[in-house]
């Protein structure tokens, strides 16, 4: 198994774990932890796709990571002190 296969499998595991934890009520799906996991997982899968490219998978993972990143940015903007 190559490094990019491992990266992809870790990414899939991260996404599935975050989804399961959110669905089971153990993780706030709108919180930083869930959003961070939903950014990290697809990013690892995208890394694996640099070696064995698949356009449809790349589009889905890039969109997933971008949406999670927007959520993280939104949280960061909310937490900024007003002044």
Name the 3-class secondary structure at 81: coil
Q: Which two tokens stand for residue 71?
A: 């959520």
Q: For residue 38, with 0-12 CB atoms within 10 Å meaning exposed, 13-18 middle and 19 or more buried, which class applies?
A: buried
| 70-78 LR contacts (CB < 8 Å, sep 24+) | 71/30, 71/35, 71/38, 72/32, 72/35, 72/36, 72/39, 75/31, 75/32, 75/35
Tens digit of each residue's pLDDT, the chain (83 residues): 999 999 999 999 999 999 999 999 999 999 999 999 999 999 999 999 999 999 999 999 999 999 999 999 999 999 887 76
Please tell me whether the overall predicted TM-score, pTM, comes out greater than 0.85 for this model.
yes
């Amino acid at each position: 198994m190559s490094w990019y296969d491992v990266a992809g499998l870790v990414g899939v595991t991260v996404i599935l774990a975050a989804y399961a934890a959110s669905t089971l009520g153990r993780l706030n799906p709108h919180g930083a932890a869930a959003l961070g996991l939903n950014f990290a997982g697809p990013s690892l899968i995208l890394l694996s796709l640099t070696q064995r490219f698949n356009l449809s998978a790349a589009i889905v993972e890039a969109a997933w990571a971008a949406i999670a990143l927007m959520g993280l940015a939104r949280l960061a903007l909310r937490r900024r002190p007003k002044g």
